Amino acid sequence: MIEVSHLTKRYGSRTAVEDLTFTVESGVVYGFLGPNGAGKSTTMNILAGCLAATEGQVTIDGYDIFDQPVKAKARVGYLPEQPPLYTGMTVREYLSFVARAKGVKIPALDAELDRVLAVTGTVEVADRLIRNLSKGFRQRVGIAQALLADPSVVILDEPTVGLDPLQIVEIRQLIRSLGKDRTVILSTHILSEVQTVCDKVLMIHKGHLIAGGTPAELEERFAGRATYHITAKAGLAEAREALEPVPGVLDIQAHEDDAGRCRLEVSVAGEARDMDEKLSFALSDRRIPVLRLEREQASLEDVFLALTQEADAPNETVKGGRRHDGHL
């Protein structure tokens, strides 16, 4: 459990993070989402105790990171943007150093090393020098290091950057499995990562928290409208007549086909419920055969674009954003 209140960090005159307040519950994978330079790394550095804040408070499991840093940091495992590896050591040497520095006692050391090596899939490289490892394995060793001494909070700063697609999939699976029994916070600017890995999202832009919630919630809350693509075996006017009275329908764009079919693009309000059923019933009540009915939801990417644009130009009202098929 992490509680952040009114966190502000300034570098001289530049403000990296301003008045950030949020709570991170236990047993959840949190995604920190934002463009490059949004203040993600700064925030994570502060949460991990590597950086002092200008103002504000951070408590980890009830311990203040600034007043009781040793107790607070003992509960956190941290992988910075660049894995902090001593390249001249073997993986096992490195991990045993970190484990001992985190207070793992010698009798328990071997078991602890074997545990993190197994979890991160680094058993086969355990006795190799870190400088000879590929980027994917280095990243895993970095994660292994964060998992030592069984922290209740794991903070990963852009854990999949620079990895090949297969490695990305593997690391994501690893993160998901970590999230089962502890809190994981990861930062990313890749939206698909958030959707596949995270239970909750915190969107941050120019040092401000602009939105928070589950990916689905965000999509629903911020998608102004959704679009249905409908193909029906009927005349244009007939179909229009059937659909226009349905509550929640905002707009109907129609195109007539040659073979007595029409294609419709029906815009519905984002908060309207059960539109799939309502639209198909409306058509079938008039005995119009429905050949295709597909919902296109605003994706997290749309939400993100909309929100960042909104934050940049607060006077401008942004509608919906860009749309495309399905999810990312």
Partner 1 sequence: MTAIYEKELDSQLNGLTGYVYGALMLLFGGIYVMAIHLQGSIDFTTVLGSLTFIYLPGIPLLTMRSVAEERRQKTDQLLYSLPMSMTKIVLGKYFALVTVMAMPLAVLSLYPPIVNGLATSGAIPLKAAYGAVVGFFFLGCALAAVGLFISSLMESVGLAAGACFLVMLLLYFLSPLTSYVSTSALTSFIGFTVLVLLLGVILWRMTKNGGFALVFSLALEGGLGVCYALWPGKFGGLFADVLGQLAVFDRFDSFTYDIFDIRSLVYYVTVAAVFVFLTVQSMERRRWAS
- Here the contacts of 164-170 (C-beta below 8 Å, separation 24 or greater) are 164/136, 167/136, 167/139, 168/193, 170/121, 170/136
Amino acid at 85: L
Nearest to residue 288, comparing CAs of 231, 230, 228, 234?
234
Q: What stretches of the chain show up as alpha helix (H) in DSSP?
A: 40-47, 69-73, 91-101, 106-120, 135-147, 165-178, 191-197, 215-222, 236-243, 275-285, 300-312
The reply to whether 70 sits near partner 1 by the rule CB under 8 A is yes
Q: For residues 32 and 222, which CB has a smaller minimum distance to partner 1 in the complex?
A: 32
Query: Where does this chain touch partner 1 (CB under 8 A) — which range of 17-25, 46-54, 182-190, 217-225?
Result: 46-54
First to last CA, the chain: 30
> 127-146 mask for partner 1 (x: CB under 8 A)?
------------------x-
Kindly state whether residue 52 participates in binding partner 1, applying the rule CB under 8 A.
yes
User: For residues 22 and 97, which CB has a smaller minimum distance to partner 1 in the complex?
Assistant: 97
Q: Residue 279: left if φ>0, alpha if ψ -120 to 50, beta else—which one?
A: alpha
Distance CA 85, CA 102 (A): 15
User: Does residue 87 contact residue 129 with C-beta atoms inside 8 Å?
Assistant: yes
Q: Site map for partner 1, 80-109, x if CB under 8 A?
A: x-x-xxxxx----x---xx-xxxx------
Taking each helix axis as running N to C, give the angle between helix 165-178 and helix 106-120, from 0 to 180 degrees, rounded to the nearest 10.
130
State in angstroms the smallest separation of the CB of 69 from partner 1.
Answer: 8
Shortest CB 203 distance to partner 1, Å: 24
Part in contact with partner 1 (CB under 8 A); list of ranges 74-82, 110-118, 192-200, 220-228: 74-82
Cα Rg of the chain, angstroms: 25
Q: Which is nearer to partner 1, 95 or 239 (CB)?
A: 95
Contact 64, 56 (CB under 8 A): no
As to burial, measured by CB atoms within 10 angstroms (0-12 exposed, 13-18 middle, 19+ buried), residue 263 is: middle
51 touching partner 1, by CB under 8 A: yes
Q: Which is nearer to partner 1, 52 or 108 (CB)?
A: 52
Query: Per CB under 8 A, does 289 bind partner 1?
Result: no
Edge-first strand listing for the sheet containing 2-11: 14-24, 2-11, 55-60, 63-64
CB closer to partner 1 out of 53 and 202: 53
Q: Please tell me whether residue 49 binds partner 1 under the rule CB under 8 A.
A: yes
Q: Residues in contact with partner 1, total (CB under 8 A)?
A: 31
Among residues 112 and 302, whose Cβ is nearest to partner 1? Answer: 112
Pick from 29, 76, 143, 204 the residue near partner 1 by CB under 8 A: 76
190 is a contact residue toward partner 1 (CB under 8 A): no
Residue 189 sits in the site that holds partner 1 (CB under 8 A): no
Q: Provide the token pair at 171.
A: 């690391």
Residue among 87 and 132 whose Cβ is closer to partner 1: 87
Which residues lie near partner 1 (CB under 8 A)? 11-12, 45, 48-52, 69-74, 76, 78, 80, 82, 84-88, 93, 97-98, 100-103, 145
